[in-house]
Amino acid sequence: MKSNLALTVVFVILTGVSTWKFVGSTTEYMDLEASPTMFDGFLPETVAQINIQRQKRDGSKDAQDNAAIEGLAFVKQEGNWMIADPNSPFVGVPVMSAQIVSDILERIGRIKVTESNVINSKADDLDIAEKEVDDKSGMRIQCLDANKQVLADVYVGRSAGKKVEGTKEAVEGTFVRKEGTKQVVLFEEAFPLDLEAKTWIDKTRRDVSPDQVAEIEIQGKASGKQIDVHFKRDGNKGWVAVKAPKDVGPLKAFSVTEIIGAACRIDAVDILSPLNPALLEQYGLSPKARLHVIIKTKDGKTQDLFVGKRVEGKQDYYAYIGGQLLLSLAEWDVSRYEKEAKDYFDPKPTEVKTPQENPPAKKTDVPGPGGKEDSGTAGGAKEDASKEDASKEEASKEEPHKEEASKEGKGKTPEVDPAKADPAKVGAGEPTPVPSTPAPSTQPAKKD
């Protein structure tokens, strides 16, 4: 009885320990999955304004002798982000909204505060400065909603890419600190932010479907060529030339679709500056640009591209697309428009007359069987046959005379008068006739 009681107690103890371990491990797992974020309830879609700033690295001062500040400000309007910093020359210019979300908002939403992430829960000023999460070295990011309520306020410090002393391990990530706290947290991702406004501007300045283009026109003078090209769609016929050069063959449709594809997708090499109309002539964009490319879409809209001279010290060209920005385009993209009108056509085919190998027989009026006239090959054959029969009959009449002449002339050398020799035969491969001379007599001369 005592042994059974002892076994029961051991079973209960072991079961309790196992249950405690299971519950403990489950609790630990749940905490890891539901680890709190630095900004609880933060949602990127609720952010309407972003302010980014830090002190200038060069130690310069502002007008009030305070440390000079540099930074950026973005605002969302109708779902699209644009530059809102009034001190930026690009104020009001749209930026890449997807990049704002991925590089700033989503990163802030992923910052977690756990025991493994917290580097120092009560860091002093020296530690905060060393990790560059203070107001002098750190980059401060504020996210506000449409009512100007702060949703997130964080300092982003230096990279934590250093080896841990005494070990072979390396710490990776970025140090961050929530404004108003002494807690330094290691964010396990990189957090690069470029404070140059133009790097946030989309370099794809035009992206139109070629199927929507109804007309294209290119004018200008480049590389010694006078360019004047104009094509439009003509229903089921496809692309046709509004004005075609002389002495050319058919239009090369693939050349037209190629140039339209180039005009529909325009990617800038660089966003140079806001466009100043007073400086257009300086960039070779006025009074006449090097190239003027016009596309008209099916909805009746017209879109322009102006290309000027080369950017100093580069192979790129100044350009603008009827907007507020001065761009640079790659040489390859510009050279595709530098074609004369004749380059879009095949060469004019030349007419070559070839001799006929078997010309048709002439029509004859030889009566055929039954009194009907035969023509063509059959008639010609009958006529040749009748001529051949007449020749044979004539030859049979002359044959006896030839035989007699042959007998009489046997053994004699024919006499030929040199004056009557045919000059055409002399020197044409035939021997020259020699006049015959009497053979010397072998009999003794008679004495008188």
Task: Enumerate residues 6+ apart whose C-beta is below 8 A from 429.
Answer: none
Could you tell me which residue, 431 or 67, shows the higher pLDDT? 67
Q: For residues 173-177, give the mean pLDDT.
A: 95
For residues 292 and 229, the answer to whether their CB atoms sit within 8 Å is no
Spatial distance between the Cα atoms of 117 and 175, rounded to a whole number of angstroms = 10
Rg (CA), the chain: 52
Residue 395 vs residue 355, higher pLDDT: 355
CA distance 183 to 199: 32
Calpha distance 240→234 (Å, rounded): 6
CA distance 172 to 191: 12
Q: Max alpha carbon distance in the chain (Å)?
A: 198
Amino acid symbol at 207: D
Determine the pLDDT at residue 292.
96
Nearest C-alpha neighbor of 259 from the set 207, 367, 335, 173: 335
What's the pLDDT tens digit per position in 103-135?
A: 999 999 999 999 889 999 999 999 999 999 999
Mean pLDDT of 227-252: 91
> Is the model more confident about 43 or about 367?
43
Token pair of 343, please?
Answer: 């380059």
First vs last Cα of the chain: how many Å apart? 198
Q: Where are the beta strands (DSSP E) in 179-316?
A: 184-187, 204-207, 213-222, 225-233, 239-241, 248-251, 265-267, 270-274, 291-297, 302-310
Q: Tell me what the mean pLDDT of segment 8-33 comes to.
A: 43
Tokens read off for 254? 């693939």
Residue 19, pLDDT above cutoff 70: no
- Check whether the bond before 347 is cis (ω within 30° of 0): no
- At 412 the three-state DSSP class reads coil
Tell me the pLDDT tens digit for each residue of 298-313.
999 999 999 999 999 9
Which residues, in sequence order, are bridge partners of residue 178?
A: 154
The residue-averaged pLDDT of 392-405 equals 51
Rounded Cα distance, 383 and 372, in Å: 15
pLDDT band at 225 (very low <50, low <70, confident <90, very high): confident
Residues counted in the chain: 448
Mean pLDDT over 405-419 rounds to 47
- Residue 416 DSSP symbol: -
Dihedral over Cα of 173, 175, 177, 181: its sign: positive
Tell me the one-letter amino acid at 197.
A
**pLDDT for 240:** 94
pLDDT confidence of residue 60: 87
Q: Give the contacts of 200 (CB within 8 A, at least 6 positions apart).
A: 72, 74, 83, 95, 96, 99, 100, 194
In the predicted structure, residue 408 carries a pLDDT above the cut 50: no
Q: Give the model's pLDDT for residue 170.
A: 63
Q: Tens of pLDDT along 241-286?
A: 998 898 899 999 999 999 999 999 999 999 999 999 999 999 999 9
Which pLDDT score is estimated for 64?
84
Strands (E), 285-339: 291-297, 302-310, 317-320, 325-329
What's the mean pLDDT in 203-226?
93
